[in-house]
Amino acid sequence: MTSFLITGAAGFIGYHLSRRLLEEGHRVTGFDGMTSYYDVELKRARIAMLDKIGGFQLVEAMLDDRPALQKAAGIAMPDVIVHLAAQAGVRYSLEQPQTYIASNLVGSWHVLELARELRPAHLLMASTSSVYGANAKVPFCEHDRADEPVSLYAATKKGMEVLAHSYSALFHIPTTIFRFFTVYGPWGRPDMALFKFVDAIERGESIDVYGHGAMSRDFTYVDDLVDAIVRLIPVVPDPCCATPGRCPSLSPIAPFRTLNIGGGRPVGLVEFIATVEQCLSRKAVLNMLDMQPGDVPRTFADPSLLQALTNYVPATSVQEGVYAFVEWYRSYYGRSRQRPAARAA
């Protein structure tokens, strides 16, 4: 049995990862600020599901609360730390930039300080494909430059990556950074495009289609993402080898790696909407709009490193994943039909 400390445990990905680890018999201490960025009741429902499994304890506090973070560490005595807590959302970063600095940079630094003190066997931290910006080279590879982010959200996540590398090099903390590619599935966030599309179509309302539909995303079903993370937990970066092709670490000076978690199969936005319509058996009314500031035209993962390390690549089709989300949405909201609190996607 392994003891985990998971920040953002009430979040979409944090819930799914915590549930998987608990079902495998591990202990999980969650840490979450329960912010009002989106429907807090959805977060509490996730936590209630985790409580039913057993072996789970939540410390509810913000990442800038160092004593609370220390309390969570004292409860967990973690072998592994998984840092998923973050302020998400590209467009919301234009409205509330200070929350991104506080959470994604300062909050992540607090987690790094905790890891320096505790020396876990493995520190795993969530980043995003948004760090690649509008990179013209596809597919996006971990060796590509990611120094030209086009949103504050991406800039803060890249800043977190750089901070983590320095801590890994200075204090020899084995660290893996995940770059997630458009994760979706049941219990997803109300600010994500899939949630907003399904919610609007079910109500007979129009959906906003940015970039006039001329965008594509490398969608990753949440169960596939969790499978990849679980497989990577025991694959600890090796600090001693810098020879390309012979070492899983991408840093020549630290036990540190950055890697994509994505399937490498981008889907166009128009095709994605058609899949949503098919799964709902309803047509959408499209409100075509220009590209939003901070958006990128496409994301496209190169999963070669993930496959080399785990012999695994996310493979759930968008058709399967969207159908699973629709089934969950109708089950969860079917009775009250209350509109979820959502931000702009």
> In sequence order, what DSSP letters do the residues of 157-186 get, joined into one string?
HHHHHHHHHHHHHHH---EEEEEE--EE-T
* Segment 153-206, tens digit of pLDDT: 999 999 999 999 999 999 999 999 999 999 999 999 999 999 999 999 999 999
Q: Model pTM?
A: 0.94
Mean pLDDT, rounded, of the chain: 92
Contacts with 138 (C-beta within 8 Å, 6 or more apart), sequence order:
298, 300
* Segment 79-95, tens digit of pLDDT: 999 999 999 888 788 88
pLDDT score of 240: 56
Judge whether 309 lies within some domain: yes
CATH number at residue 89: 3.40.50.720
Judge whether 255 lies within some domain: yes
Q: Please identify every residue annotated as catalytic.
A: 153
pLDDT over 50 at 337, yes or no: no
* Segment 275-299, tens digit of pLDDT: 999 999 999 999 999 998 888 899 9
pLDDT score of 244: 47
Residue among 99, 97, 32, 18 at smallest CA distance from 63: 32
pLDDT score of 239: 65
pLDDT score of 292: 87
Total structural domains within the chain: 1
Q: List the alpha helices (DSSP H) in 63-187.
A: 66-76, 92-95, 97-100, 108-118, 152-171
Tokens of 138: 């596809």
Residue with tokens 């600020």: 33
Residue among 131, 128, 173 at smallest CA distance from 13: 128
Judge whether 114 lies within some domain: yes
Judge whether 192 lies within some domain: no
Judge whether 329 lies within some domain: no
Three-state DSSP class for residue 80: strand
The alpha-carbon radius of gyration of the chain (Å, integer) is: 19
Q: Worst-scoring range by mean pLDDT, 103-117, 146-160, 177-191, 244-258?
A: 244-258
Domain that holds residue 141: 3-181+223-263+301-315
Judge whether 209 lies within some domain: no
Judge whether 333 lies within some domain: no
CB 325 within 8 A of CB 188: yes
Tokens of 110: 């607090």
pLDDT score of 251: 86
CB 294 within 8 A of CB 94: yes
pLDDT over 50 at 49, yes or no: yes
Q: What is the 3-state secondary structure (H, E, C) of 216-280?
A: EECCEEHHHHHHHHHHHCCCCCCCCCCCCCCCCCCCCCCCEEEEEECCCCCEEHHHHHHHHHHHH
Contacts with 141 (C-beta within 8 Å, 6 or more apart), sequence order:
260, 302, 304
Judge whether 172 lies within some domain: yes
* Segment 68-79, tens digit of pLDDT: 999 999 999 999
